[in-house]
Amino acid sequence: MERVSKFSAIVFIFNFIFAIGSVRAETSSAENKIQQVALFKNGLGFFISQIECPEEKIFSVNLEAVPSHGTFWVSYPEKVKIESLVSKEAQVEKTQDAISIAELLKANAGQAVSLFVEGNEASPINGVITHFAENRQSPEQPSPYLPSQLSYRYLPPIEQASLMIVKTDTGDIAINPQMVKKVKFASGEIKNKFSSREKTIQLEVRTASESRGEKLTLTYLAKGITWAPSYMIDISDNEKAYISAKAEVINEICDLNNVQVQFVTGYPNLQFADILSPLAKKENLAQFLQALNRGSSEFGAAAVGGALSNVMRQNVKLYEYEDKKAEMPAYGAAQAGVSAEDLFLYPLENVSLAKGEAGYFPLFTESVNYKHIYQWNISDYVQEDGQYYYNNRRQEKEPVETVWHCLRLENSTSLPWTTAPAEIVKDGFIIGQDTLDYAPPKTKTTLKITQAANVKAEQIELETARKQDALQLYGNHYDLITVDGKLSVSNFQDKAIILEITKILSGEVKSSEPESQIDSLASGVSKMNPTKKLVWTIELEPNENKQLNYVYDVYVRR
C-alpha cells in the first residue's frame, strides 16, 4: 500500500528555498517513465509517472515538466523510506551538429589544422587545437536577503566564448575562433558534432536504505499539452444520424511512449494552475511570493488562452458532382469511460507522441436519433435604460428575420458530448458547421446547420394604447403602453417542417394566439419590467403560412 509522506513534502519545499548550487556530486540516475496523462482542453495535463529505484541510496531523476503549485506529490511503498528529495540545477551533456567554422573547430579540438585568419589569409597558422573555451555560465543570482551581494540591476551580462589556443612550432597562440575564415585539417577525418553542457533541473532522491527495484510514483499537473475534440455528424439516413468523434492532441511538453491517455470532459476548478511549483526553480523566492499574491507566475499563463473563440461560419453552395462521395468514418463504438465526480475521462491506450508533434486519434462512431428543427429567435426591444427601441431598429433599415435550420440530437451513448466543433454532412458533402454544446447522456442538444432561405419570417410590433405618466419612480417618469405583436411565417419548401419561435419581451403578457408557453426569466428581476420568454412550436405544411400574435403591457421611460 502506498502512502504520501507529509514530512517529505515539507522537506521538499524547505530544501528548495534554502538549497543553493548544483548537484554536489555525480550520482546515478533513474528513469522517470510517464505511465498516464489526463488531458484537459485548456492546455493542462495531469501526469502519472514511475521511477524504479537503483542500487544506490542517492540518485537523480529528471523533471520532465514544470508542475503547477501544490500538485506535485511523491508516493512510495511502506518499506521505502525517503529521507529527502531536493530540486537542484545540474549540468548535462548535449551533442549537436556544427553549423559554423567556430563550432567545427570546437568539434575537432586536439587535431592539427591550418587556420586562415581574417586579415592574414595568405599566411595560415599551422598547429594543434589544445583548448577551446566554453561560454561563461550565467552568474549566480544575487540574493535580495543578503547585504553582501549586489542588487539585481547590477548583474553583469553573460559572456560568449571567443578564445581558442593553438600550439604551433613557435609557441601557443590565442585566437578568436570567430576570426577564422577557412580551415584545413591535416588528417582526413573531420568531426562535425560537438558536445556542450547546459543547465537542467534534476530531483536528487536520498533513501535511508537500498531500495533497488522498488517504484516511486510521481503525480503532478503541468502545462504544455492539450486535446481539441471535434465531431462529424452524417444525416444521410432519414432515421438515424451517425456521429463520429476524434481528438487532436498538441504536445509541447515531453515525449509520450506507449502512454495511457485520458481525455477529460468537464470544468475543473484548478485555482493554482497558473502558479509554478518551487521545485521547477524557474522563480526565486521573491518571484514565487509575488505569483501567489497576483494569482499567476510570470511564465504560468502566457501560453494558455481563456474561452474558445466563436466558430467562423460561411455559407455553402451545393454543386453538381460525380457519383463520388466522402466516406463517413467508422471508428467503432465508444469505449467505457470513467466518471470522476463531475468530470468524465475518455480512455485511449498506447499513445506515442513526441514533443513538438500533433496527433489525430479516432474515438468513436455511434448512431443516434435526430430530427430536423427550424428556429426563429426574436429579441427584446426594451433595453436596460427602460427605452423602447423597436422603431429605431426599423428606421435604420428593413430588418431581416433569420430562421435557422437545426438538428435536435439525442445523446443515447454512454458518455457525454463535450463542447466542440461539429461538421454536418449529407451524402458525402458538408452542409454546415457549428459548435456542439455539452450534452450529458440521455439529454438532447440543438445544432445549427444553415440559414433557412426558403422559410420566410416577418414581425411587427404596434402600439395600441398609452397611459402617459402612469408611474413615477426614483425621479423617472414612465408611460404604460400596450403593444400588439404580429408574427407571420411561411414555408416555401416542398416538405413539412417543425418551427420553434422564441420571443423575449419586457412587460406583462396579456394574451397570445395561438397560446404560447410563457416563462419568467431571472434576468429581469432588477429591471422596471419583468422579462418573459414566449415559445411556440408549430408545424408548417409545404407552402403554408401561419399568423401568430401576442399582446403585452410595458412601462417605458419618457
Domains of the chain: which residue ranges? Answer: 99-191
**Element holding 270 (H helix, E strand):** none
Can you tell me the distance from the alpha carbon of 361 to that of 459, in angstroms, rounded to the nearest whole number? 47
Q: What confidence score (pLDDT) does residue 152 get?
A: 47
Q: What confidence score (pLDDT) does residue 82 get?
A: 86
User: Which of 411 and 328 is assigned the larger pLDDT?
Assistant: 411
Helix, coil or strand: residue 285: helix
What is the band of 354 on the pLDDT scale with cuts at 50, 70, 90?
very high
User: What torsion, rounded to 10 degrees, do the Cα atoms 426, 432, 436, 439 define?
Assistant: -30
List the grid coordinates of 481.
403602453
Query: How large is the average pLDDT for residues 205-224?
Result: 89
Mean pLDDT of the chain: 81
User: Which of 402 and 291 is assigned the larger pLDDT?
Assistant: 402
Query: How large is the average pLDDT for residues 159-176?
Result: 88
pLDDT tens track for 482-512: 999 999 999 999 999 999 999 999 999 999 9
Can you tell me the distance from the alpha carbon of 352 to that of 361, in angstroms, rounded to the nearest whole number? 11
Query: How large is the average pLDDT for residues 20-31?
Result: 58
Q: What confidence score (pLDDT) does residue 241 get?
A: 95
Q: What confidence score (pLDDT) does residue 17 get?
A: 36
Can you tell me the distance from the alpha carbon of 558 to that of 186, in angstroms, rounded to the nearest whole number? 98
What is the band of 513 on the pLDDT scale with cuts at 50, 70, 90?
very high
Q: Please state the separation of Cα 171 from the chain's center in Å.
A: 61
Q: What confidence score (pLDDT) does residue 194 get?
A: 83
* CB contact set of 380 (below 8 Å; sequence gap of 6+): 504, 505, 506, 531
Query: How large is the average pLDDT for residues 221-232?
Result: 93
pLDDT tens track for 42-88: 889 999 999 998 988 899 888 888 899 999 998 888 888 888 888 88
Cα–Cα–Cα angle for 20, 22, 27, nearest 5°? Answer: 130
pLDDT at 546 over 80: yes
CATH topology assigned to domain 99-191: SH3 type barrels. (2.30.30)
Query: How large is the average pLDDT for residues 246-264?
Result: 92
CA–CA distances in Å: residue 487 to residues 24, 116, 401, 466, 541:
82, 89, 11, 22, 17
Could you tell me if residue 288 is left (phi over 0), alpha (psi between -120 and 50 degrees) or otherwise beta?
Answer: alpha
Q: What confidence score (pLDDT) does residue 23 get?
A: 38
- Whether the CA torsion 195, 197, 200, 203 is positive or negative: it is positive
Q: What confidence score (pLDDT) does residue 549 get?
A: 96
Kindly report the pTM of this predicted structure: 0.71
Strands, E assignment, 427-475: 429-436, 444-451, 455-473
Can you tell me the distance from the alpha carbon of 329 to that of 294, in angstroms, rounded to the nearest whole number? 47
Which amino acid is it at 298?
A: E
What is the band of 360 on the pLDDT scale with cuts at 50, 70, 90?
very high
pLDDT at 389 over 80: no
pLDDT at 28 over 90: no
Query: How large is the average pLDDT for residues 199-210?
Result: 86
Residue 175 backbone dihedrals phi, psi, to 5 degrees? -130, 145
